[in-house]
A = this chain, B = another copy of it.
Amino acid sequence: MILLTSTRQLLSNAIYRNSRHANLNFPMRNLMSKQLVYCEFGDPLEVVKCRESIVPPLGKTDVLVRMLAAPVNPADINTIQGKYPVKVELPQIAGNEGVGIVEEVGKEVNGFSPGNKVIITRPVQGTWRDLAVFSKDMLRVVPDNLGVVEAATLTVNPCTAYRMLMDFVPVKDNSLVVIQNGANSACGQNVIQICKAWGVKTVNIVRNRPNIAELKKYLEDLGATYVLTEEELRSTKIFKEKQIEKPSLALNCVGGKSSAEVLRHLEHSGKMVTYGGMSREPVTIPTSAFIFKNISFHGFWMTAYNEVAGKAEKDKMMEDVIALMCEGKLKGPAHKMVKLDNYLEAIGNALTVKGFMECKYILSF
């Protein structure tokens, strides 16, 4: 492996040096990429294989990227299982987001230069590989000082949190209170930090667990105004005693009893946005919440957002999120870096709910 990496690096360096004048096709054919591929849908521990493959020639509008890091997200796992409603052609390189360094650009590519740090902004591009050719339209240059973990995990959870806080209730402009369950999820941690940066108060609901005090401390340090267990929420007096206004926006990634309890505390005409269903139970809504409290219920899915949103709005989102990260106000998730060769550990972790909730595994290359 070490020999191979070195060879690849030498070839890569040669291309880098000679990029402006070289006949790209010849050296590209000799570059090898190590990648995690699946040829059928199924148990990710079984169907995902590590293979080495020749890097294809660089097209006029393509960019060669040496990947630095790519997370293992729940959606990646569900996609491999064939349970995620996105179009995938087999065989498929796994992974939907990640960060890398530009090694080379096609003849007609502007705005990207070798050495640029870039993120992959569209799903199903196959980010679980060490060297990849992407169409330039799938990439975005990010500042050099943006952390690798932040950059690798930027497009899913921080952007989901940002959009849910922007698109349903004007919490930022009116300092309205946000309540969320699954507050220690990767997305939930982003919600806490973005709200803190905006001066928006959050009520954060988590499941009780042995190390609850530690978890509360962790989320409070991130900026959470209140952290309550589901049991504590049931009997809390923080709203009755006006310690905090009733929330106008609820973010739900759990469903079942948890969303029902969160709903009870929502302000008149509030909104609940569902972006996950960890409990595997539906959201249950009493008629009175609709009619007499005028609460409305919405869903959010980043993949669908990316299909329909305009470039200007997406650019603004990316700029805002990246600025928060570069200012140190929005940190990447609690995580563990795992070398590509140890991908089974990362996948195994993501297959358990505990994994989703507590520690993001990130592949490094």
Q: Which residues of A contact B (CB under 8 A)?
A: 85, 255, 274-277, 282-301, 304
**Distance, CA A288 to CA B299, complexed state (A):** 9
Asked if A301 and B297 sit within 8 Å, CB to CB, the answer is no
Please list 10 pairs of residues, one from A and one from B, whose beta carbons are closer than 8 Å in the complex, sorted by A's number: A274-B290, A276-B287, A277-B287, A282-B284, A284-B284, A290-B297, A292-B304, A294-B304, A296-B298, A296-B299
Q: Is B296 touching A291 in the complex (CB atoms < 8 A)?
A: no
Query: Of B255, B294, B297, which is within 8 A of A296 by CB?
Result: B297
Which residue from B276, B293, B297, B300 sits with its C-beta under 8 Å from A285? B297
From A284, A285, A293, name the one whose CB has the most chain B CB atoms within 10 angstroms. Answer: A285
Taking CB atoms, residues of chain B closer than 8 Å to A291 are 274-277, 299-301
Q: How far is the CA of A304 from the CA of B294 in the complex (A)?
A: 9
Q: Which of B255, B295, B296 is the one whose CB lies under 8 Å from A287?
A: B255
Q: Are B299 and A294 in contact (CB under 8 A)?
A: yes
Q: A282-B284, A283-B284, A284-B283 are in contact. Are A299 and B304 (CB under 8 A)?
A: no
Q: Please give, as numbers and ranges, the residues of chain B lying within 8 Å of A286 by CB-CB distance.
A: 277, 282
**How long is the Cα–Cα vector from A159 to B277 in the complex, in angstroms?**
37
Nearest opposing residue in chain B for A289, CB measure: B299
> What CA separation (Å) do A295 and B282 show in the bound complex?
14
User: Which residues of the partner chain B approach A285 to less than 8 Å between Cβ atoms?
Assistant: 282-285, 297
Give Cα A287–Cα B294 distance, bound, in whole angstroms.
20
